Amino acid sequence: MSTENSLKIQFEELTKLDLNHLSVSEVLDILETYFKEKIILSTSFSYEDQVISYFLKNRDIDIFTLDTGRLFEETYQTWTLTQAFLKKKIKAYYPDAEKIQEFVTDKGPDSFYQSVELRKKCCHIRKVEPLAKAIKGYSVWITGIRAEHSPNREHIQMLEWDETHQIIKIHPLLHWSQQQVLDCIQKNHIPYNPLHKKGYVSIGCAPCTRPIQEGEDFRAGRWWWEDPNKKECGLHVHQS
């Protein structure tokens, strides 16, 4: 039996469990029982990722981040504080230097403002391609996605099969509210990105992120010059 088929069978077994009513720790216990060291969390050091990282503090589960080369200085500071807090190394993945060099030389350093096509190309080089390298060889990819983040994420399941990357994808905080996340941060003294306190809610690359205004959608500050209903970078493509 191929590794892919074996993993799909395990995925089907997991879908029979009612994970939605379990705590984060209980969900992680189940994942470790099935997959041991084949689990990894992707973090951008958002509130949600910081909460999940806290639950991984004493677990043998890997964490990685994508350094696009255009992150905020505050994000790097949060990265440093988080490693010290967890007493755990966070793996760093970077875009291909030659592809970035070619893209920037040909299109310009801020060409992503010119068209959706160029913005998606930039995201693909800086994020999507490094992601594929980061999760290769793993069985489970943990994310900090919450249903409240955007209309595109309201109907996804906590447990998904990612056909593109042939991996099980799980969102332990999917049904958490923003207040639950903030309460957990405060209660457990978890470090967080100081930009959150300045109106930055969803934080990505510096040129593509701005603070949101009162009443705006959670992701209004990301790629704000584009159609508000179609703003994804390609990391999370939800298949029906």
Nearest to 35 by CA among 1, 65, 3: 3
Structure tokens at 176: 């958490």
What does the longest C-alpha to C-alpha distance in the chain come to? 53
205 is annotated as an active-site residue: no
Q: Give me the catalytic one of 122, 123, 184, 233.
A: 233
3-state secondary structure 76-131: HHHHHHHHHHHCCCCEEECCCHHHHHHHHHHHCCCHHHCCHHHHHHHHHHHHHHHH
- Please enumerate in sequence order all residues whose Cβ is within 8 A of that of 123, keeping only pairs 6 or more positions apart, or say none: 112, 233, 234
Supply the residues annotated as catalytic. Answer: 233
